[in-house]
């Protein structure tokens, strides 16, 4: 697409020499358009990096344009560094959102998502070859770039210190989306002492304020320079230059990213443990790190979490772990005590039922309702039934029984659930009672053998639902 327009406007500056790579602190630039077309895909392509993870692209919300400019300060994804976002301003003053920029061969392609009031015809006219275009990062784009630059330059520093001080090579790295920490992948784990040592060494260099510069040389097309999984020159790169990012006296690394001019102020924080990766073929670990605005954001959020937890526990921040442990221990003891008391109470209630007066003819048929805010009231009703059956067996009583237990929460509403348990000496009678409760009270449930359980939804009233249970029991014959 560029070939057809080359006579009308200066050709695009190749990736490697873009304004964002020559001067990463530049926030605005005036340039000219080289080409503009409507993108064939609804979403910006991902260069295959995340393609496997992504689900099917959502339906396009608005047309997407592919704009190539003579020069740009919007960095196209590369070297492990994600794309910038930014704004294009056309000659009529209209602002266009760049949602992503990608490198295609040696060119940076800007993906412009049209706003509802913008249309394709205007865009094609305003970004015609040779048209004057303003490029800026905007407030949001600049914050994003600064964060990426801080994390990327810190990664170079961290990898250099790991290699020179501990002889540990960086296998890969990831500039994860903010605010999560980024990580380097290493062939072995590090002890807390090693991590502290690396952090100290890196920050010693930070305090020295070592400078960062980029060396550019023409790339011999016959030689492929590959030096690591994320820092080599991509095989489809056609820009013709090799960039080497140099941290004065510390590191030299081929890289296309946008780096800060100095590591001054780039204080590095390493999360104090490496995380082992569960992969069957290789053993590697991740070492997470933070720097720049992301470190400040991390400190703010962790401080807020700790302070609010300390407030809940009514203690100072340093006492939080001890207080939380205390609460967990107390909770365990309280749970145990509730279980013990429930077992004791179940036995008492079972005693009361066993001793209740039987019907004429000897059968013990009755209903007991409970109010209980337990998370699982059926467990307690089951405990009563088990204790009851044990007592009946002890007494070696042959008299038939059928018991209905119900349990409602203390505050009832239309969404409340009352648990129903039926148990008896005759499986057929249990089923019959369950079927009747289903039919007359709309209890949903089922059972097998001597046990039937179900749930009633709504407000349970003794004079209404309780009376219905009584009539169901009366209709059963023994």
* Window of 51-59, 75-83, 220-228, 296-304 that interacts with Zn ion by CB under 5 A: 75-83
Four-point Cα dihedral 206, 210, 211, 214, nearest 10: -90
- Within 48-202, strands assigned E span 64-69, 86-89, 95-104, 107-113, 132-136, 170-174, 182-186
Q: Give the footprint of Zn ion on residues 390-429 (CB under 5 A).
A: none
Find the shortest distance in angstroms from Cβ 197 to Zn ion.
23
How are the residues of the chain apportioned to helix, strand and coil, as percentages rounded to the nearest 5? 35, 25, 40
What mask, x for binding Zn ion by CB under 5 A, covers residues 228 to 257?
Answer: ---------------------------x-x
Of all residues in the shown chain, the one whose CB is closest to Zn ion is 255
**Looking up tokens 């993108």, which residue turns up?**
39
**Looking up tokens 């003891």, which residue turns up?**
333
* Residue 136 vs 159, nearer CB to Zn ion: 159
Find the shortest distance in angstroms from Cβ 175 to Zn ion.
9
Alpha-carbon separation of residue 96 from 57, 125, 165, 372 (angstroms)? 22, 14, 47, 62
How many residues of this chain bind Zn ion (CB under 5 A)? 3
Q: Are 370 and 405 in contact (CB under 8 A)?
A: yes
Find the shortest distance in angstroms from Cβ 222 to Zn ion.
24
* Residue 110 vs 156, nearer CB to Zn ion: 156
* Residue 79 vs 106, nearer CB to Zn ion: 79
**Polymer length in residues for the chain:** 478
Distance, in Å, from the CA atom of 262 to the CA atom of 465, rounded to the nearest integer, reads 78
What mask, x for binding Zn ion by CB under 5 A, covers residues 344 to 383?
Answer: ----------------------------------------
Find the shortest distance in angstroms from Cβ 111 to Zn ion.
23
Find the shortest distance in angstroms from Cβ 156 to Zn ion.
6
Q: Are 407 and 377 in contact (CB under 8 A)?
A: yes
Q: Are 115 and 123 in contact (CB under 8 A)?
A: no
Four-point Cα dihedral 277, 280, 282, 287, nearest 10: 0
Which of 24, 79, 239, 292 is close enough to bind Zn ion by CB under 5 A?
Answer: 79
Is 141 near Zn ion (CB under 5 A)?
A: no
* Residue 90 vs 170, nearer CB to Zn ion: 170
* Residue 155 vs 453, nearer CB to Zn ion: 155
* Residue 33 vs 255, nearer CB to Zn ion: 255
Calculate Rg over the CA atoms of the chain. 36
Where is 363: in which H helix or E strand?
none
Find the shortest distance in angstroms from Cβ 179 to Zn ion.
21
* Residue 146 vs 255, nearer CB to Zn ion: 255
Find the shortest distance in angstroms from Cβ 227 to Zn ion.
11
Other C-beta atoms closer than 10 Å to the C-beta of 87 total: 19
* Window of 73-81, 209-217, 293-301, 332-340 that interacts with Zn ion by CB under 5 A: 73-81
User: Sheet holding 451-457: strands in order across?
Assistant: 364-371, 401-408, 417-424, 451-457, 444-448
* Window of 12-20, 78-86, 302-310, 331-339 that interacts with Zn ion by CB under 5 A: 78-86
Distance, in Å, from the CA atom of 282 to the CA atom of 44, rounded to the nearest integer, reads 33
Site residues (vs Zn ion, CB under 5 A): 79, 255, 257
């Amino acid at each position: 697409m560029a070939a057809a327009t080359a006579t009308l406007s200066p050709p695009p500056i190749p990736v490697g020499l873009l304004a964002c790579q020559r001067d990463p602190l530049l926030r605005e630039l005036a340039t000219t358009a080289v080409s503009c077309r409507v993108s064939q895909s609804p979403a910006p392509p991902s260069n295959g990096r995340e393609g496997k993870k992504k689900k099917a692209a959502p339906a396009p919300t608005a047309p997407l344009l592919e704009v190539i400019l003579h020069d740009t300060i919007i960095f196209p994804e590369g070297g492990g560094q994600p794309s910038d976002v930014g704004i294009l301003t056309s000659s009529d003053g209209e602002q266009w959102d760049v949602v992503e920029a990608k490198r295609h061969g040696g060119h940076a392609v800007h993906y412009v998502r049209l706003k509802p009031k913008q249309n394709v015809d205007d865009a094609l006219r305003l970004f015609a070859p040779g048209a004057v275009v303003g490029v800026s990062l905007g407030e949001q784009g600049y914050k994003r770039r600064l964060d990426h630059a801080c994390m990327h330059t810190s990664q170079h520093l961290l990898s250099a210190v790991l290699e020179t001080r501990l002889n540990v090579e960086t296998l890969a790295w990831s500039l994860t989306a903010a605010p999560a920490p980024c990580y380097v992948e290493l062939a072995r784990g590090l002890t807390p002492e090693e991590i502290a040592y690396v952090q100290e060494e890196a920050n010693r260099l930070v305090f020295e304020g070592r400078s960062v510069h980029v060396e550019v040389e023409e790339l011999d097309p016959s030689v492929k320079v590959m030096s690591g999984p994320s820092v080599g020159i991509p095989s489809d790169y056609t820009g013709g230059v090799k960039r080497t990012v140099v941290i004065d006296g510390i590191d030299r690394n081929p890289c296309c990213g946008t780096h800060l001019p100095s590591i001054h102020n780039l204080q590095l924080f390493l999360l104090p443990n490496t995380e082992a990766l569960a992969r069957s073929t290789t053993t590697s670990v991740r070492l997470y790190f933070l720097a720049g605005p992301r470190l400040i954001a991390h400190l703010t959020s962790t401080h807020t979490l700790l302070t609010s937890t300390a407030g809940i526990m009514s203690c100072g921040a340093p006492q939080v772990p001890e207080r939380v442990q205390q609460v967990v221990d107390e909770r365990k003891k309280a749970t145990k005590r509730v279980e013990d008391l429930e077992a004791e109470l179940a036995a008492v209630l079972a005693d009361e039922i066993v001793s209740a007066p039987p019907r004429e003819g000897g059968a013990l048929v009755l209903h007991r309702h409970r109010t209980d805010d337990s998370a699982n009231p059926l467990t307690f009703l089951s405990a009563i039934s088990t204790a009851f059956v044990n007592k009946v067996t002890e007494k070696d009583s042959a008299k038939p029984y059928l018991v209905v237990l119900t349990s409602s929460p203390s505050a009832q509403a239309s969404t409340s659930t009352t648990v129903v348990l039926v148990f008896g000496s005759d499986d057929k009678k249990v089923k019959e009672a369950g079927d009747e409760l289903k039919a007359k009270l709309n209890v949903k449930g089922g059972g097998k053998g001597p046990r039937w359980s179900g749930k009633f939804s709504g407000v349970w009233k003794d004079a209404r639902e309780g009376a219905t249970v009584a009539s169901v029991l009366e209709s059963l014959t023994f």
